[in-house]
Structure 1
Amino acid sequence: MIKTGIIGAMEEEVNQLKAVMEAVNSKVKAGMEFLEGTLEGRPCVVVRSGIGKVNAAVCTQILIDDYQVDLVINTGVAGSLEAEINIGDMVISKDALQHDVDATGFGYEHGVIPRMETSVFKTEERLTALAVRVCEEVNPDIRVFSGRIVSGDQFISGREKKEWLTEKFHGLCTEMEGGAIAQAAHLNNTPFLIIRAISDKADDSAHMDYGAFEAKAIEHTVKLVRALIQVL
């Protein structure tokens, strides 16, 4: 039976999972509370990483080093980069990259991490397919997509930047943690899966959409995680 590390960026996500966990032990490290126990009868560790790539990467390394997790799942919300992906829909990672890596002054393309063999970190195909299937079963009221997730330490809320991200990286959505978690997992040869519920359109409507749709987005994500844990 595999042990899963579940990273949520927001307190609301973690609280909903914590409420249904059993045999919970709590430990604080690097300012993060790691909750170890069982979820749907499966061993897991649930933690809120906080916002941004550094928090997310540190959190991932602790899960791997201290808890020896076999899989890292990252949940959260994101801004859509594709017109067909609407608020409330779900995106499952096929791969992830960091759009704010910029070593173009040394001749590299945007998003390329110098001296690494890859800057695009892939989710195992079986995990992507499984998550899509489970999401369709437990969240029949929304649509689910699979593809690239692009990350950076920026909240994208302008049309110009959104268009640049879409043209340059062909991502389905943008957020602030997944790419860093993917890189940390890759460096440790640990499988990962990023789950993103769409809370805004990553343009100048973001400030209007976010608060209204966040709660529903988290609800769908938590429902997916609970069902997914049972079939891993």
Structure 2
Amino acid sequence: MLGIIGAMDIEVDSLKNEMENPAINKIAGMDFYEGVIGGKDVVVVKCGIGKVNAAMCTQILADRYNVDAVINTGVAGSLNNDIDICDIVISTVAQEHDMDVTALGYEKGIIPDMDVSIFEADRKLVELTKKSAKEAGLDVKVFEGKVVSGDQFISTHEKKKSLKNSFGGDCAEMEGAAIAHVASLNNIPFLVIRAISDKADGGAHMDYPTFEKKAAANSILLLNEIIKNV
């Protein structure tokens, strides 16, 4: 079974609507829609915004649904000038940018007492998604890149530059690395897919509401193709 997580309604509602005879279970305040899309067993859930919600949701998918893989779909701000609004980023790795124990001698983003702080996406899912993107016929560019996550909406040039310089991030959002973290600890293959809604700079507060729907729609188009191919 494939677990699909989005942070907001706009990122998962159309998938729920396509599901055949879903069984809906409310767990920890989240509605888990279990059913069939395109002949494939899936469970779709809106986790809510932020790393804690995302992490809790992923653990429920592991414990209650025993999912074979987790895909996180949604929108993000671009940190890479080559990646424009509505383009799509397929995660190669994900890292929590707001993990900061530098006062104790750690580098930014490093989680104390863990062997891994940068979580690698499943390569088979990456290749499957690249193939699916071509088949979906999207009119945007598709990139592989690093997703960085924190409980912050990035909207200044200074913060954007810092995340790019400190982490080499290609896009910034608020859930992906937490999902990656939990999936990795449970040995569940994962992938984060992000459509760009803004440039994570001084115009982000204007661009985000303007392009959010279009970016999320691109993500869903791609995800539907992935479900066919998975």
TM over 0.5: yes
Runs of 4+ more than 6 Å apart? none
Distance 1:168 1:218 in 2: 28
TM value normalised by structure 2:
0.98
The answer for the alignment partner of 2:3 in structure 1 is 5
SS at match of 1:19: helix
Unaligned runs of 5+ in 2: none
| Aligned partner (choices 9, 12, 15) of residue 14 of structure 1 | 12
Q: Which amino acid aligns with 1:63?
A: L
1:48-197 alignment runs, 5 A limit: 48-197=46-195
> How far is the alpha carbon of 1:196 from its aligned partner?
0.2
Percent identity for Structure 1 against Structure 2 = 54
> How far is the alpha carbon of 1:136 from its aligned partner?
2.5
Contact 2:135–2:225 (Cα < 8 Å) also in 1: no
> How far is the alpha carbon of 1:229 from its aligned partner?
0.9
> How far is the alpha carbon of 1:5 from its aligned partner?
0.4
Distance 2:216 2:206 in 1: 17
The answer for the alignment partner of 1:37 in structure 2 is 35
SS at match of 2:74: strand
> How far is the alpha carbon of 1:106 from its aligned partner?
1.1
Contact 1:156–1:203 (Cα < 8 Å) also in 2: yes
> How far is the alpha carbon of 1:230 from its aligned partner?
1.3
Q: Which amino acid aligns with 1:193?
A: L
Contact 2:138–2:218 (Cα < 8 Å) also in 1: no
Q: Which amino acid aligns with 2:227?
A: I
Distance 1:64 1:187 in 2: 10
Distance 1:15 1:137 in 2: 22
Contact 2:22–2:36 (Cα < 8 Å) also in 1: yes
> How far is the alpha carbon of 1:90 from its aligned partner?
0.2
> How far is the alpha carbon of 1:126 from its aligned partner?
1.9
TM value normalised by structure 1:
0.97
Distance 1:59 1:139 in 2: 31
With over 3 angstroms needed to count, the CA separation of the structure-2 counterparts of 1:139 and 1:211, relative to structure 1, is: farther
Q: CA RMSD in A?
A: 0.8
Q: Which amino acid aligns with 2:21?
A: A
Unaligned runs of 5+ in 1: none
Q: Which amino acid aligns with 2:177?
A: G
Deviation string, structure 1 residues 31-82 (Cα, Å, up to 9, x no partner)? 1000000111100100000000000000000001001100000001000001
Q: Which amino acid aligns with 1:205?
A: G
